[in-house]
Chain A
């Protein structure tokens, strides 16, 4: 496999397939051998086959602001990302540890607030926009808030992983983990005979088990679980439909449900049917026009009141946003020590808070080297990647920071690891990240796999699908 040649010399990144002596890393050796026996044109044909299949299945997402009904494919790369069993052991333990601590933090921050009393976090967290006073003192089933968490992890060296952010609201993308795997098995069955790849196909069943485990006390032994979607025009609609189908549960919209006698019902052809657990893929703001945004047409009036009274369970809970806020992120290592009495297995990226004067001064002096993000931004919007931005873009961002410093954090530009990727000219290194999905019900667990996002443009560090990022199948080896 070719050695890596960067245009942007600032970034000399670790490549997932290359060892320190510029040879092929052990986990990639059988793949490299297999790839060596292939023509590029064969691989390109497989790539086209995949696109055709994805289109037929309708694995598409709607793009905001484009013509109604416009549907796009997320680019799929036919070259997998391969992780050794030992690497995964660390990553999965670290991700689960984080989610356990974050759930305890959420329970604490909406109850006794011990972490503030202990002086670890400032009480300014309580005035954070994502903090929901409505949730104060509310006991959620099992004390679980983030039932589904997507932990974004990047790698910079063979042994160095960082958590970039925790997604605790309605993390998406898991359908790509599952569909990419299905596609790879279809395109390259021979590789699955050569590699001991951990299966991920049981994710929907595990998810359903976890959702059933948090049914409210009044529910029967066979609780009714539904998936709530904003509707067919939502960008993640395919995933909502896919997961509902794989779990065998109803896919409901707000208009299918109503509240009566402290319970939530759905309208069926046989009359109303009571719902116990709602896996909602709709933001807090839109879930109940009586509680949050009054103009929301997507929610169910009165739902939050039933929820607060324990008549229905929501996954994820309302108010988890306070824990995945980029300002809260910096405290997660402390949370792990405070709640679990453990050392963090995975590190945070060093983060500058622009609300602090020292940090702000440093950041404004080094904008060209740093990544600056909005505290509540997501999807790769509202961020500045210093090394790949023009002078004008940097100056424009500088003004935005000065106008509202509390709204930003900054991090060093990490040289995200690269992975061999199919591009027009051949196989080339592209930057990747990794999002395992951590599930919590009675216990916290993760299936051995993840969404691997890849920045398809040369040198780009932005992997978000809304910014032209693609996906890869992630192979976690069993041994």
Chain B
């Protein structure tokens, strides 16, 4: 039903969407951490509050090459603006715009203008002001620009494979970001598995929910106090929660099925496997085996799926080198990036 498209075009669209999604998730995590830092908590040091952000984005080592000390100011700058951080919001937006620029033909002109004006606005921002007092507004801006991008994509883009690769990039990235966020938070907030059902720091856990726009949803679904088990259930298994891993896999399997051609057998198999473990999984079983182990396996599989998509559809002619090696909870995984 579709028309064949250039592999390179698909590649740029896919990465454009990944980078926008990554920028959004970075902004979400940044904002939540910032809000928590405003809640007085004498027991927690500044570093303890901000270090998890570096874990999530796998930039702790690189951060320490650039800065001596983990302070709010340093981490905010590093995550939001620093050109040395490949996953900084600055670099994500720049890469998204560069990828879009390379294939502006493949999208609607509204989409291109949207991304281009996003980049122009970003360049004109007063970076100093953001660091001093405007961080929440900045994070809101990033989120709303991402929403706008998604909206203009849904509202104007032809339903061809270009559309599907754009969405594919968004959901692969979201699944990756969400799994990392959960993994790190659980790791740090809940060192002992026996605490799972117990009372926990309300602020910490509601912050986690808020960073996934899931706080109101939690209250609506459970009508009860915030408990780690349920938070995990909501963000991993509930398919009606749009940022959950299950919801991401629902989208990914559907999109892969819709792609033209027969090349994607292995992609579909991998996605199907991941999907069924979420579709039929129970949160109690997941906790029994260890949430950390579960998320780690998920991240590995998701990464393999990304590589397989890249190999099958996106870079017939390109060699895609792993850009960096990431360590999440002691496990190694690689992530790749295409520069425009």
Which residues of A come within 8 Å of B, CB atoms? 55-58, 69, 231-232, 241, 244-245, 250-253, 255-256, 258, 266-271, 273
Contact B6 A252 (CB under 8 A): yes
CA distance A110 to B340 in the complex (A): 40
Question: 9 A-B residue contacts at CB 8 Å?
Answer: A58-B101, A245-B105, A250-B105, A251-B103, A253-B8, A255-B318, A256-B6, A269-B5, A271-B4
Residue of B nearest to A247 (CB): B105
Q: A56-B117, A245-B104 are in contact. Are A266 and B6 (CB under 8 A)?
A: yes
Among B29-37, B108-116, B201-209, the one that faces the other chain is: B108-116
- Chain A residue at minimum C-beta to C-beta distance from B11: A269
Q: Which chain A residue lies CB-closest to B114?
A: A56
Out of B104, B120, B161, B317, which one reaches A241, CB within 8 Å? B104
CA gap between A123 and B273 in the complex, in Å: 72
Q: Using a Cβ cutoff of 8 Å, how many contacts connect chains A and B?
A: 74
**B7 CB within 8 Å of chain A:** yes
| A268 close to B120 (CB less than 8 A) | no
Q: Is B93 an interface residue (CB 8 A)?
A: no
B161, B259, B263, B317 pick with most chain A CB within 10 angstroms: B317
Most buried by A among B98, B165, B316: B316
A269 near B10: Cβ-Cβ < 8 Å: yes
A131-B232 Cα distance, complex, nearest whole Å? 71
A1 and B104 alpha carbons, distance in the complex (Å): 42
Contact between A241 and B105 (Cβ–Cβ < 8 Å)? Answer: yes
Q: Which of A253, A269, A271 has the most CB of B within 10 A?
A: A269
A-facing residues in B316-340 (Cβ within 8 Å)? 316-318, 340
Instruction: Write the nearest CB–CB distance from B306 to chain A, whole angstroms.
Output: 16
CB atoms of A271 and B104 under 8 A apart: no
Given contacts A58-B112, A256-B317, contact A269 B7 (CB under 8 A): yes
Scan residues 1-16 of chain B and give those whose CB is less than 8 A from a CB of chain A.
4-10
Task: Give B102's nearest chain A residue, CB to CB.
Answer: A232
Report which of A244, A252, A269 forms a contact with B260, defined as CB distance below 8 A: A269
Cβ-based interface call for B141 (8 A) = no
Minimal beta-carbon separation of A177 from chain B (angstroms): 18
CB distance from A72 to the nearest CB of B (A): 14
Give the A-binding residues of B (Cβ under 8 A): 4-10, 98, 101-105, 109, 112-113, 116-117, 120, 161, 165, 259-261, 263, 313-314, 316-318, 340
- A57 pairs with B101, CB closer than 8 A: no
- In the complex the two chains form, what is the Cα distance from A273 to B103 in whole Å? 19
Cβ B105 vs Cβ A244 within 8 A = yes
How many Å lie between the Cα of A69 and that of B102 in the bound state? 12
A267 closest partner in B (C-beta): B316
Nearest CB in chain A to that of B119: its residue: A58
**Contact in complex: A268, B4 (CB < 8 Å):** yes
Cross-chain contact B116 with A270 (CB below 8 angstroms): no
Return the 3 tightest CB-CB contacts between A and B, nearest first. A268-B4, A270-B4, A270-B261
A232-B102, A270-B4 are known contacts. Are A55 and B120 too (CB-CB below 8 A)?
A: yes
A258: chain B residues within 8 A (beta carbon): 317
> In this complex, what residue of B is CB-closest to A57?
B113
A267 touches B263 (CB 8 A): no
Residues of B within 8 A of A268 (CB): 4-7
> Is there contact, CB below 8 Å, between B4 and A255?
no
Q: Is the CB of B6 within 8 A of A270?
A: no
Q: What are the residues of chain A within 8 A of B9 when measuring CB–CB? A: 250-251
Known: A57-B112, A269-B165, A273-B4. 7 other contacts (CB 8 A): A57-B109, A245-B104, A250-B9, A251-B103, A268-B6, A269-B259, A269-B313
What separation, in Å, do the CA atoms of A232 and B259 have in the docked complex?
A: 27
Q: What CA separation (Å) do A200 and B284 show in the bound complex?
A: 67
The residue of chain A having its C-beta at the shortest distance from the C-beta of B99 within the complex is A232
Return chain B residues, CB-CB under 8 Å to A253. 8
Task: Tell me the minimal C-beta distance from A274 to chain B in angstroms.
Answer: 11
In the assembled complex, the CB of A471 is this many whole angstroms from the nearest CB of chain B, namely 20
Whether the pair A270, B260 counts as a contact (CB closer than 8 A) is: yes
Chain A residues near B263: list those with CB within 8 A.
269-271
A335 to chain B minimum Cβ distance, whole angstroms, is: 37
